[in-house]
Amino acid sequence: MRTRNIELHRKVLFELESIADLSEQEIGISVHAGVVTLSGRTDTYEHKFVVEQTVARIPGVKAVAVDLRVGRSGSQDLTDTEIAHAIADILQWSLNGLRKRMIGKVERGWVTLMGEVDFERLELPETLKRAIIVHRGELTPDYGHLRRFLVS
C-alpha cells in the first residue's frame, strides 16, 4: 500500500509540474489509499479548477479532497458574508432593467449565481464576468480552453 501511495504521489506531482501556469502555486499533495488531498493556495479559481481536473483524471486516483484556498499568500480573506454583500450590490447595479431574478450564493469563498439571465445579457463588470467559469452547465467563453482538463 505504501509503495502505491508513493507512486501515485509521484504521478500527481509530475502532472501538476507539467502545467506551466502552476509553477508558482503553493500546493501540497498527500496520498492515502488512492485518495489525493490537495492543500495550500492557488492564485486564481482557474488554477484551482485545472488542478482539480488534472488530478481527477490520473489513473489510480479514487477520490480528490480539495483543501485549496484561492488568493495570493498573505492576502486577507473575506468572509462569505462580506462577499455576499458585495455580490448583492453588484447584481443590483448590473441587472438594472432586466425583469429576471438572479441571486448569488457564497459558500467557502465560492460564488454561485442562480437565475434566468442569459450570459450575454449579464451586465457585470468585465473582471467579474471573466471570473465566471460555468454558466448553465457550459464553460463560459473565457474558459473554453479548460475543456481538455474535464473528466469525461
Q: What is the CATH number of domain 2-74?
A: 3.30.1340.30
- The highest-confidence range among 1-10, 21-30, 80-89, 133-142, by mean pLDDT, is 1-10
Q: Domain map of the chain by residue range?
A: 2-74, 80-147
Cα–Cα distances (Å) from 136 to 67, 90, 113, 150, in that order, read 26, 20, 10, 16
| pLDDT confidence of residue 26 | 79
70-94 burial, b at 16+ Cβ within 10 Å, e below that, comes to beeeeeeeeeeeebbeebeebbeeb
| pLDDT confidence of residue 136 | 67
DSSP state of 141: G
| pLDDT confidence of residue 62 | 94
Which grid coordinates are listed for 108? Answer: 467557502
Q: Does residue 118 or residue 15 have the better pLDDT?
A: 15
Predicted TM-score (pTM) of the model is 0.53
Which grid coordinates are listed for 99? Answer: 425583469
Share of the chain above pLDDT 70, in %: 74
DSSP state of 75: P
pLDDT band at 25 (very low <50, low <70, confident <90, very high): low
139: helix, coil or strand?
A: strand
Residue-wise pLDDT tens digits, 56-107: 999 999 999 999 888 765 556 678 888 888 888 877 776 665 546 778 888 8
Check if the beta carbon of residue 106 is closer than 8 Å to that of residue 83: yes
